[in-house]
Amino acid sequence: DTEVTQTPKHLVMGMTNKKSLKCEQHMGHRAMYWYKQKAKKPPELMFVYSYEKLSINESVPSRFSPECPNSSLLNLHLHALQPEDSALYLCASSQDRRRQETQYFGPGTRLLVL
Amino acid sequence: GENVEQHPSTLSVQEGDSAVIKCTYSDSASNYFPWYKQELGKRPQLIIDIRSNVGEKKDQRIAVTLNKTAKHFSLHITETQPEDSAVYFCAATPADRGSTLGRLYFGRGTQLTVWP
């Protein structure tokens, strides 16, 4: 399996809702990433997990809460989001962050906050 | 941190022509340079990458060149086809700077349109 999968593909939520995004990879990668991408812009890094430990938090608001339950799974818990948080949320993985290996992206979750 | 500049922001070519996209980077510690292609509504996909110990790499119609002294690298697509139409992002990754290690610093992207 050489793919990163993400669920759901689309998500619409109100500002008071709580939802979660899920990412999974079975390539044995030990680094996993969350990115936010607005239309016609490059992906913006949000969080990096390395060997299931949070190693980078790019000063992301606390309404976004990442979780890495095991080496294959990465979640992003959403709570009290704002309309400006509407974007494509991409998950990525790489073999090992320390060795600058290629990052492989999932298909993304398109989030709309009303 | 690293700063990657990418030009042009849009590029239109006729089918069969060549396309060149250029990027510059600021951090001399960067030594891995991937290029991603993102079609509308799809994920970014790696199309080619180069490491700093190599000056050029080619894969069929796609090639990347790297000039470490000048801190710039370029993507060359020959014999372009309509299916090459997409946004292309260059990126640079520093080697040895703590929290920046392994991070991708993206350029702003180039919208390539290939007209049949």
Tens digit of pLDDT for each residue in B76-106? 999 999 999 999 999 999 876 666 667 899 9
Q: Using the beta-carbon criterion (under 8 Å), do A98 and B106 form an inter-chain contact?
A: no
Contacts of A104 in chain B (CB under 8 A): 46
What is the SS3 assignment for A79?
Answer: strand
The confidence score (pLDDT) of residue B45 equals 96
Cis peptide preceding B8, ω within 30 of 0: yes
Query: Which of residues B86 and B52 earns the better pLDDT score?
Result: B86
Q: A90 and B44 in contact by Cβ < 8 A?
A: yes
pLDDT value at residue B72 = 95
Could you give the CA distance from residue B49 to residue B32 in angstroms, rounded to a whole number? 7
Give the model's pLDDT for residue A109. Answer: 98
3-class secondary-structure state, position B116: coil
Distance CA B84, CA B39 (A): 9
Percentage of chain A surpassing pLDDT 90? Answer: 80
The residue of B4, B9, B27, B43 whose CB has the most chain A CBs within 10 angstroms, and thus the best one to mutate to test that interface, is B43
Structure-token pair, residue B29: 């510690």
Residue B49: its chain A contacts at CB < 8 A? Answer: 102
Res. B16: pLDDT tops 80: yes
**pLDDT, greater one: A98 or B49:** B49
Inter-chain touch B43–A103, beta carbons under 8 Å: no
Q: Is A66 within 8 Å of A75 (Cβ atoms)? A: yes
A91 to chain B: nearest residue by CA?
B43
Residue A101 binned pLDDT confidence (cut-offs 50, 70, 90): confident
Interface of B with A (CB under 8 A): 31-32, 34, 36, 42-46, 49, 87, 89, 93, 95, 99, 101-104, 106-109, 111
Tokens found for residue B67: 């000039």
Whether the per-residue pLDDT at A1 is higher than 60: the answer is: no
- Nearest CA-CA distance, residue B74 and chain A, Å: 18
Q: Is the pLDDT of residue A46 over 80?
A: yes
Q: Are B79 and B62 within 8 A, CB to CB? A: no
User: Computed from CA positions of residues B53, B58, B59, B64, in that sequence, does the dihedral angle turn out positive or negative?
Assistant: positive
DSSP state of A102: P
pLDDT in tens, B26-39: 998 888 999 999 99
Q: What is the DSSP letter of A100?
A: T
Q: Is A42 within 8 Å of B89 when comparing Cβ atoms?
A: yes
Average pLDDT over all residues of chain B: 93
The answer to whether B102 contacts A43, with C-beta atoms less than 8 Å apart, is: no
pLDDT of res. A13: 93
